Structure formats: structure tokens, C-alpha cells
Amino acid sequence: MQSKILRSRIYLITLLFALAILGQLAGCSTAQKATQTAPLSQDAKMNWFREAKFGLFIHWGIYSIPAGEWKGQPVAGIGEWIMNRAKISVAEYEQLASQFNPVKFNAEEWVKLAEDAGMKYIVITSKHHDGFAMYHSKVSKYNIVDATPFKRDPLKELAKACAKHGIRFGFYYSQAQDWHEPNGAGNTWDFGPDDKKDFDQYLRDKAEPQVKELLTGYGPICLIWFDTPRIMTKERAQRFVDIVHTLQPACLIDGRLGIEGDYRSMGDNRIPNTVVEGDWEVPATINRTWGYKKDDHDWKTPEDLTFKLVDIVSKGGNYLLNVGPTAEGIIPQPSHDNLRAVGCWLKVNGESIYGAGTTPFGDEFGVYDTEKKDRRGNPVFNAKTDWRCTTKPGKLFIHLFKWPTGSFELSKVKGRVNKTYLLADPKRKGLNVQQEADRVTVSLPKTAPDKIDSVLVLEMAN
Ligand code: JFZ
């Protein structure tokens, strides 16, 4: 009798268990379906970008062979524009491909550099204005596998290394200018004026199919960086949007396609003077060129790069900082050194950058001098560079680029400061703080804990 009751109890419990598991399974599979079919919200799509803040731009192509010099003469301007600047014919420029053999290229090392620099995404030129594909394209033989002695697809190798290191991977693609194609925009020295060209023939036969290749053969692509939208109409741009949305709905589109993208691309090296709402990015050079130029040694210092990163984040943007590898496949040493120095600063102070919000102040950016006018007749902006502020809920991060003696004073502070400490202090020892209404004074140690930027955290009471 007893065992019979026991047995039926066991039976009942087993039944309930089985039902629960079945329910769970059903729940799982519907949840999975939902994530597969529900379109990503714009916020969900932008999430990684808002968190990342710092990315590595790479301009690499066969223009790294002449490296800013043609027939013994230096060519002015940015390295990757040499074909245009020196009006090199397609027949002549094409010969560079047969010399391109970057045997020192090592995807792992490049990705490691980005990682060590604290960068969260890489954007590399898959095809620049010169029309040469830096990947194995089936659409055009004018590509690194079919037209060079190198015969490898570096973008495949980079995609793999990025996946391994948890770095997001994206492509630059010059959709409008293609100086190699009779119907692409830009090459007027070989093919005459753009308005006489069958631009849609070029788009349909090269640019659109190449973008499809890039979005199918290289795993998840975080963003595609279109550029210089010459003669791009809204309809033409929309065709690219449709391709991206169909093949990789989570892939972001930059602001230079010729139609509104997922975020704004600021002018090159142009950091806005104040907080800018919405999502945006500043593409920037680490010297003065994008593509490698042998005589450009004007390297930005770690101090300058760190300041620019903090300045941009405090205004709400991302910093996409470029390197230009050589024809051997080497990223110039000063780029390595200066980026790694920023990375060291980020190791200690990353909390104040990744996912951080804008400053609640604004006076720290500087002031317009209405007495002085610039070339365009606008008042001159005098930037103030001694401190910046980034934020997280309940926290102000004060970036001190110039260490004040004794104490730091801050006004217009909303709410009460609960605790202050330096990110460089592993013990996070509280500093002496005085507050009168919205005015806060923090006592500081004698010397700066970081010679580039010491970050003071003000934790607010809720
Ligand atoms: C473009 C390219 O022509 C250049 O070679 C490089 O790839 C750079 C990142 O982008 O150049 C531009 C495009 C837009 C502006 C400036 C330079 N702009 O809007 O100020």
C-alpha cells in the first residue's frame, strides 16, 4: 500500500518535471524564433557602437608602394589620392598591383595592436577610390588575390583574427569613386567627365556585387563605411541600404553613403566644439595622411591622442583613428608606440571612456571670441584644454590634463558629492571634498598620478 502511494507520487513528480522541461523547451524555441525574426531596434543596433568609443581605421592599398612619391617627385596631399593627384593613367597605375607583395603582413599583429590600444573595432579599406579590391573578389580581377604576387586575402585573415580577439570588424568601401572603371566616378583624366558616364552600369556591375561579397564572405560585419557620395542619388544609395539590410541587418551604415546612415560621420579630423546629440564618429589621422607616405613623420603624441579621445567622448562621439601600413604590410612603429601608450592609459582609466556619456557642463570646452573672425567670418573658438568631463549614471569623471596645485574646484555641480577618488589609485582611497551649494572643492595629492590625464571620480548621492 505504502509503496503504491510512493510509486504514484514518483510518477506524478516525474510527470510534472517532464511537463516543466517541455514548457521550458517550448519557451526557448519561441524565444529563439523571436530573436531571429524580430527586427533589431535602432538602440539595440547602436549598442556596441555607443559602448566602443574607440576604433582603428586602416587605409591600406597599392598606393602604399609609391608612398607619396611618383617618378622621383613628392606628390602633395594624402597618400591614397596619388593616382588622382599625379593623374596616373589606369594602365600605369595597374602595374603597381604586380609589385604588391606585403609578405610581412600579419593579421594577428594588427588585431593585437588594436586590442592593446583599447580599441573595440577595426574598419579597413576593402576598396578605396583607386578601385583595387584588397580582398578576393569574383566580380573584378583587379584584386589582391588575382592581380598580385601576394595571392592572399588579408581581409579573410583579419576577419578571423578579429573574431578570435573579440574585436568587431568593418569595411570601408568607396561606392561612388572608382578611378579604375570607365563608368565609376572620379577618373576624368582617363575617362572624361562624370556626367557623361553610365554610373549605374558601374554600380550594378561592380560596387553593388562587391558589397554583397563583403557582407557574405567575412562573418559578421559591424559597419560599412561608405565615402565621398559623388553623384549618388537617394535611389542609388537606397540600393546599398537594401543590400546591407538584407544580408546583415545588424551592420551599421556610416554617414557618407548619400542618404542618412545609422550615425553621423564628422569631417575628417574635425572634432566639434561642443556636445553633439545623436550618434557620431570622428575619422582621424595619426599623422597627416591616411594611406602610407614615407615622408610624413608628423605623428600625434600619446598626450594629444588621449586628449582627443576624451574630448570626443565628452561631446558624445566615437574616435576612429587611422594607421597606414606600408607596402610590406607593416604598421609604422610610431603608430604602434603611440597607440599602445593610449592603451596603457585606457587600462587604468577605461571606466571613464567605454559606454560613457557626455559632460553635463560645457564651459570647459572654451569660448567664442566674437572680436576675432576666422577665414569664413565666424567668431574664433578658443579651446580650453585643461580638463574634460565624461559620465556614467551617478558618476562624474573629471579628466585632469593639467594637474592643479592643492585642489580642484568645480562649479555648477548638480546634487551632492558622496565620494571622490582617483581611477589611478587601486585602493580608491576617498579624497577630502568640500561642497557649498553647487560648488565642489576636492583636495588633491601633490603630484599627478598619471602624466597624461589623471581621472578624478565624483560619486554622487542619489
Ligand atoms: C575621404 C577620402 O577621400 C580619403 O581618401 C579618406 O579615405 C577619408 C577618410 O575620406 O576624404 C574625405 C571625405 C570627407 C571629408 C573630408 C575628406 N569631409 O567631409 O570633411
Q: What is the pLDDT of residue 33?
A: 41
Q: Which protein residue's CA is at the shortest distance from atom 8 of ligand 1?
A: 268
What percentage of the chain carries pLDDT values higher than 70?
Answer: 92
Query: 119 CA to middle of ligand 1, Å?
Result: 21
Quick: pLDDT tens for 183-222: 999 999 999 999 999 999 999 999 999 999 999 999 999 9
Q: What is the pLDDT of residue 310?
A: 98
Closest approach atom of ligand 1 to CA 128: 7
Q: What is the pLDDT of residue 8?
A: 52
Query: For residue 69, what are the β-bridge partners?
Result: 74
Q: Which protein residue's CA is at the shortest distance from atom 12 of ligand 1?
A: 268
Q: What is the pLDDT of residue 378?
A: 87
Judge whether residue 21 has pLDDT over 50. Answer: no
* Mean of pLDDT values over 44-64: 98
Consecutive H or E run containing 31: helix 2-37
Q: What is the pLDDT of residue 207?
A: 99
Confidence of residue 130 (pLDDT cuts 50, 70, 90): very high
Answer whether 268 contacts ligand 1 (Cβ < 6 A).
yes
Q: What is the pLDDT of residue 7?
A: 52
Q: What is the pLDDT of residue 37?
A: 58
Length of the chain equals 462
The cell numbers describing 328, all together, are 610590406
* Mean of pLDDT values over 26-48: 66
Answer whether 80 contacts ligand 1 (Cβ < 6 A).
yes
337: how many CB neighbours lie within 10 A of its CB? 11
Task: Say which residue the cell 582621424 belongs to.
Answer: 284
Which of 83, 227, 280 is the best mutation target for the ligand 1 pocket, counting ligand atoms within 8 Å of the beta carbon and taking the most? 227
Judge whether residue 446 has pLDDT over 70. Answer: yes
Closest approach atom of ligand 1 to CA 81: 5
* Mean of pLDDT values over 336-360: 98
- Angstrom CA distances, 384 to 266, 394, 396, stand at 21, 25, 19
Answer whether 290 contacts ligand 1 (Cβ < 6 A).
yes
What percentage of the chain carries pLDDT values higher than 90?
Answer: 88
- Angstrom CA distances, 163 to 136, 159, 181, 307, 335, stand at 19, 6, 33, 29, 23
Closest approach atom of ligand 1 to CA 265: 19
Inter-residue contact 291 to 59 (CB < 8 Å): yes
Answer whether 228 contacts ligand 1 (Cβ < 6 A).
yes
Closest approach atom of ligand 1 to CA 228: 13
Q: What is the pLDDT of residue 409?
A: 97
Query: 67 CA to middle of ligand 1, Å?
Result: 18
Q: Which protein residue's CA is at the shortest distance from atom 3 of ligand 1?
A: 228
Which of 130, 290, 323 is the best mutation target for the ligand 1 pocket, counting ligand atoms within 8 Å of the beta carbon and taking the most? 290
User: Which of the residue ranges 19-23, 41-45, 409-413 would you say has the lowest mean pLDDT?
Assistant: 19-23
Answer whether 227 contacts ligand 1 (Cβ < 6 A).
yes
Higher pLDDT, 112 or 383: 112
> CA 106 to CA 252: how far, in whole Å?
27
Local structure of 42: helix, strand or coil: helix
Quick: pLDDT tens for 218-274: 999 999 999 999 999 999 999 999 999 999 999 999 999 999 999 999 999 999 999
Element counts in the chain: helices (H) and strands (E): 12, 19
Q: What is the pLDDT of residue 35?
A: 45
* Mean of pLDDT values over 173-177: 98
Q: What is the mean pLDDT of the chain?
A: 93
Phi/psi of residue 253, nearest 5 degrees: -115, 130
* Mean of pLDDT values over 334-349: 98
Confidence of residue 30 (pLDDT cuts 50, 70, 90): very low
Confidence of residue 14 (pLDDT cuts 50, 70, 90): very low
- Angstrom CA distances, 157 to 113, 169, 368, 409, stand at 15, 11, 48, 50
* Mean of pLDDT values over 30-37: 44
Query: 383 CA to middle of ligand 1, Å?
Result: 24
- Of 293, 157, 168, 174, which is closest to residue 220 (Cα–Cα)? 168
pTM across the whole model: 0.91
